[in-house]
Every structure is written in C-alpha cells, then in structure tokens.
Structure 1
Amino acid sequence: MAQSTAMVGGAGANSYANNSTAQRDAVTTAKEAMAEALIEVLDISAFLSNGSKNLVTIADLGCSVGPNTHIAMQTIIDIVTTKCHLQGIDPKTIEFQVLFNDQNTNDFNTLFASMSGDKNYFAAGVPGSFYDRLFPTSSIHIAYSASSLHWLSRVPEELEDENSPAWNKGRIHYTNAPEPVVKAYAKQYEKDIDAFLRARAKEMVPGGVIVMLMPGVCDGVLRHDIGVSIDFLGSILMDMVKEGMLKQHQVDSFNIPHVYPSMKQMKRFVENNGSFRIVKMELQNAWLNKEAPIDMVTAIMHLRAFTEMTIASHMGCEIIEPLFAKALQRKQKLSDMLYDAGHKIGLRYLFTILQRT
C-alpha cells in the first residue's frame, strides 16, 4: 500500500519548487490575517524571560524544498520584529533559529541551496514525521505548517483489506466514494491530528503559537478542488487498466492519503486535545484573482508535483510519463470537472492559529 512521500525535488520543470504557486497564493492570502493575529497574541517579553536567552525558534513542519518556506519564514520573522518594536524590545538583540522539517526523503539539498545568502536567521534541517515528536520539550516559540497537514500519516488500514467495505475499488480517493471509505479516511485523520497536537503540546513553550494552513471545506462538504483533481487522475488510471497498461489491482489498492477538513472538525480536534486555544480559524479562498480562469496545464503540473512520488512508489516510475501525458491531453475533462455546471468550486484553505495554554 503506497504511503505519502516527499514532493518532487530538484529545480527541474516537474519539481515542486517550480510548481507550487497555488500553495504560495494561499500563504499570500493569509498573510494579513496571520500578521494581525500574531501581533495580537505573541508576547516576546514572556518568551525571553522564559529562559530562551534572546533566541526565538520557529519550526516549519512540512517545509518541502522551497521557495515557499523561505518566503513564509521571513514573513514570520518580520512579524516578530514588528512585535518587538511594539513591546519596546530592540529586535537586534534577538536571534532567530528556523528549523526546517519534512520527511526523511525530502530534498533538503535543494531546500538549503535555494536559501538566501543574507538570511537573518540560523537554519537547520529536521527530518521526520510531524505526527511524532521532533523537538525538545518547550523549545519552539512558533510552529508553522502550510499545505502539509492534509497528508495522512498512512493510508487507512481498512482500505488495504479487499474484504472490507472500505475497499476502494476503481477509485484512488474518498471523493465520490462509498460511506465506509469516507469514514475510514475521517477516522485516520482524527487520529493523526490528535498525534500532531499532542506532539506539539510538549514541544511548544507556554504562549507559543501554531499557524496551520491546509486545504479545507465548508461544514458538511466533501468536495474540494484537489480531491476533484485526484479523481481526474483516478479516471485516467482506470483507462490505463482498460488499455492493459496497468493491472486492476494496482489501482484498487492505491489511495492518495489526503483529507480536507472543515472548521467544525478542526475545532472538535483542538477542543478534544485541550492544550491549545483557538486564536483564529477561518476558511479562505486562496485564488488571488478570483475572476481569472484556471490554467489547466499549470493545474496538471501542480498535480504532478505533489502526487508523482506517491504514485511512483506504488505503481512504478515507468507509469508517470504516460499518465501525465494523458492528463495533459485530457485537460478539458479536468476543466469540466472543476467547473461544476459552470461554477468554479474555488481553492479553499482552512487557516488556523492556535496558542499553547
């Protein structure tokens, strides 16, 4: 059963670095709200009096390969610098440490090679799953995670059993799947978010904050642009089965480990954990130009950048080129799926800020 993998590394035409502008747009959309919330709740004086010795530590959980993480980290440092001025603290006396976290297979070489030479912080890479402990107790002041927390730690176990009601025959995601499949995904996601929050509760200093930005849906809704795009890939994989390029079992046993939560779900997860208070939570439309049509070639390149490694790990690298060649040939079908009866779904992101109590 294929599990989630790192994004496509390097700086080539198919890399995540060159095909993640949609994720960058989501960060840009949330920038003003993030600055407003962080300036309101951060207490730099309390951080420094709590034994940090003028060191503020920021962690990016699921950083990938850049450049989005570099932009986000500098944005947060600028916000902290502004708060220092507001609290009468000379920001020149503050040292910043940024810890870049992603899976062991992440292309950290590209990440650090793309880093600015005049950065104003110390940097280190921390490989490992953010569903486990990553940092020492009470060592992180600000944790940040964008376009990462919708990835499950694993495909739900029920989807691995051919005799289970959740065996997802002919599909690769829970969008448009039977109820047992949807429930299996939801169960795994709740388990994962609880593990994430429990780990962060131990690592965050009192008053520390977590900024989370991930694909999300309205309460009671399952469909999301990304899920629809994954369904599009699934339909091509099924066509490849009919053409003899793949075995039926290869598709039936493959599922993309993504979940797109609602605010109602996320509020329940946070309240059940009990270690954080919700500072801000809202569902945002991440399209910077909401009137502009979606460029389907760009959309498919983005889709490839975050699914290629997961698909290849399950079906083999040789399937990637024909799969995405067919996807480009059928881009009008993706357009038709994304424009539901002429109505664009809209790339929605769930923006959440939590503070350690």
Structure 2
Amino acid sequence: MVVRSNERTSMVGGGYYNQNSSLQALVAEECGGLVSPADCQGKSVTLVDYGCSEGSNSVRMIQKAINSCPEDSTVTIVFNDTPANDYNSLSDTLDRSLRDTENKSSRRVFPVMAPQSYYQQVVADESVDIGFSTASLHWISRLQPASGDLLPSDADVSAEVLADILRFLRTRYHEVRTGGHLLLSFPVDGELNLKCAYPSIIQCLTDLAGERIISQTAASKFKLPFHFRTPEEIAQALHAVQGKWQVVEHFYRDVPHPDFLQFQSSFAESASSSPNAAALEDYCKAISGGFTAIIGNTVVDTARVFRDASSSGKANSPEAIRTKMAEKLHQRLRGSNFWKTPLGNKYVFLKLRKI
C-alpha cells in the first residue's frame, strides 16, 4: 500500500479559498446539519475536521455541531490539513469565528491545529466524538506528477481510490471513540458536474505554456487530481469496513453551484436568449476563481517538477502562475459556451457510527 504521510497538497491560501468555495460551503453546512444532540453528550466533546483548508467552510459546519453540544460542555475542535496548508489564514478565520461564538454560548471552545496528512493518525486513540470530512475525499494525490509517486497511466484508478478511502476510514477507526460518528461528504459521479469547464482549464494551461509561464511539458503532464466515485465504488468501500463502521445515513444530493444559480437568474430578468454581459462576466470570474483556489497549487507543483528551457525564469513564481492561471481561465471561460450547461456536483452524504 502506498504511504501518503508526506502529502503536501493544499488549497490556495491567503484568504483565496475562503473567498472562492461557495459550493463547498453549502455542502459543509448540510453535513454539519447531520449532527444531533444525542451524538455529542457529555461534559467534554472533541470534534475533528479532516481537510479544513482556511477554515471558513469548516467553522460553518462545526458551529452546527457545537450548537448540539450541552451548554455547559467543553468542546475541543481539531482542525486538520496537510503541512502545506495556510495556517496563518486558518488562525485568523478561527479567531474571528470563535470570538463570535463565545458571545453567544456558555460552552468553552478550544481550537487545535493538526498539520498532518489525514492518511496518517492525527489525534489519540478513542479521543474523537465526531469527525468530519467534506469536499476532499475525491482528491487523488497520485494523479499529480508532483506527488513523487505518479500513478501510471494504465493503472486501475478504481483500485487506487478504494485504497485511499479504506486507508482513511481505517485510520479514523483508531481515533473515533466507540459509538462516535464520522460524517463525510464528497462529490461523486453524476449528471450534475463541473465538466463543462474542463476544456477551458486545459486550454488555459496551454496558454500559460505559450506565454512561457509554465513549460510545455508541465502543461501536457498536468491531470485534474479528482476521481468522482460511483455508487458501486462507495458500496464496495462500505462493505469492506462493515465490521468497523455502521451506516446511519447514506444519501445523494445534487448541489447546483450558487454562482450558476445567480447567473441563471439573470435570464429571468431578460427576454433575450443571450446572457447579460455583466452577469456572464461575473459568472466566469467566480468559476475561474473557484478552480484556481482548488487546483492552483497543483499547477504550481507540476510546473516546478517539469521545468525546461521553454519556461521563463522570471515569471514563474507561484503567485505569478496562480494569477495568470485565473486570468487565462477567465478569458477561456468567457469565450466558451460553458454557461449553457448547469454547473454543480452530485454529492454523497454519509453518517457512520463506530461499532
């Protein structure tokens, strides 16, 4: 089995992911809503978010869990992400959020940061009452050349993602107390998806190579680091851990992208079959920002691995690559017909109880 304890993937920091993850925010809130008061009884409760990024979506989800805890309880919250995560931004987010929480509740809340890959154990055995992971378990690090252990092109991706999720679930089994819960949500294969924007992403990377921001090799080697599991793949994973985890809730939901819904509403205000120019501009900017927030750092990592004489030595700083990526992707989306297709994702929601 591949050891992933050296995972260094992260979302773009500096507040960028916080500002460009409105779809993920909706999912996080719904996942947090699966917590009931019966799940977090006692004077001391420990919550863990595995894959918290900069924290804005995490705190919205965690707040729902906190509200279910007894008023006189002490709540420890562990915010976990890879060592490459922007923990300064996370700290700022938590400080603002928890100051607001303290003014509204008698609960004592203590945040803790755990800068480790969630493919390894990050907290003590039997210490977690409720664990969360939203919008992250579809991420497959070995689809990126920068992983150091690139998945071969002819490899069985289904076998790889099964190994990923089983490693995650079996590691969490040590951490969650008996009777405790694990709440998961991640995008899956479905009719509602983000694929209408994918051609613009590939074209954008070609544009970056053409301007010598990244190398031609980096542009050709980059792969979107996602695998959207099928219901059959999820069932296979749950079957493999059925002696450890009991399925309490398991359902699917289409979640339209909020920026798509806002853009779509502009058509209701016009009799024209063409989109409002200002609304389309805003929509393209939002979607380009969202994709840059998610994969901008993996583009940077791939550019670092595959540098050659075709790339400039001056303009390929991480910040320059991400900025140019957002700009070129915006232009490519603006010149395409992606807006004609509904944008969003189908998500699976799982509430598991440790047996």
Shorter-normalised TM range: 0.7 to 0.9
1:104 CA displacement: 0.6
TM-score, scaled to structure 2:
0.76
Say if 1:29 and 1:288, in contact at 8 Å, map to a contact too. no
Name the residue aligned to 2:183. Answer: 211
- 2 CA distance for matches of 1:193 and 1:113? 31
Supply the RMSD in Å over aligned alpha carbons. 2.9
Q: The residue matched to 1:293 in structure 2 has which SS?
A: helix
1:114-145 deviations in Å (ceiling 9; x for gaps): 22325441111011111111111111110011
Query: How far apart, CA to CA, are the structure 2 residues paired with 1:6 and 1:201?
Result: 24
Q: What is the aligned partner in structure 2 of residue 139 from structure 1?
A: 127
Distance 1:4 1:260, change over 3 A: farther
How far 1:69 moved relative to its partner?
1.2
Query: Is contact 1:156-1:185 (8 Å) kept?
Result: no
Q: Which amino acid aligns with 1:277?
A: Q
What is the match of residue 103 of structure 1?
82
SS at match of 1:75: helix
Give the alignment of 1:122-133 within 5 angstroms: 122-133=110-121
What is aligned with 1:84? none
Matches within 5 A, 1:337-352: 337=338, 339-340=340-341, 344=342, 346-352=344-350
> 1:79 maps to which residue?
68
Q: Match of 1:229, as an amino acid?
A: A
**Which residue of 1 is the match for residue 20 of structure 2?**
19
SS at match of 1:151: coil
**1:190 and 2:162 are equivalent in the alignment:** yes
- Residue of structure 2 equivalent to 1:283: 252
Tell me the matched-pair count.
305
Deviations 1:133-163 (A, max 9, x none): 1111111110011112121243378x99999
Residue among 322, 325, 332 paired with 2:324: 322
1:151 to 113, 121, 139: 139
User: 1:209 is aligned with what amino acid?
Assistant: H
**Residue aligning to 2:45:** 56
Q: 1:224 aligns with which of 168, 189, 193?
A: 193
Equivalent residues of 1:224, 1:260 under 8 A apart: no
Shift of 1:351: 1.2
- CA offset at residue 68 of structure 1? 1.3
Q: 1:231 to 1:143 in 2, by over 3 A?
A: farther
> For the Cα contact (< 8 Å) 2:292–2:325, is it kept in 1?
no
Cα distance in structure 1, aligned partners of 2:89 and 2:40? 34
User: Partner of 1:297 in structure 2?
Assistant: 285
Question: What runs of 5+ residues in structure 1 fail to find an aligned partner?
Answer: 49-53, 82-90, 167-179
1:280–1:338: structure 2 CA closer, same or farther, 3 Å change rule? farther
Give the residue type in structure 2 aligned to 1:78: N
Q: Distance in 2 between matches of 1:320 and 1:196?
A: 30
Partners of 1:338 and 1:328 lie apart in 2 by 12
**2: distance between equivalents of 1:43 and 1:327?**
44
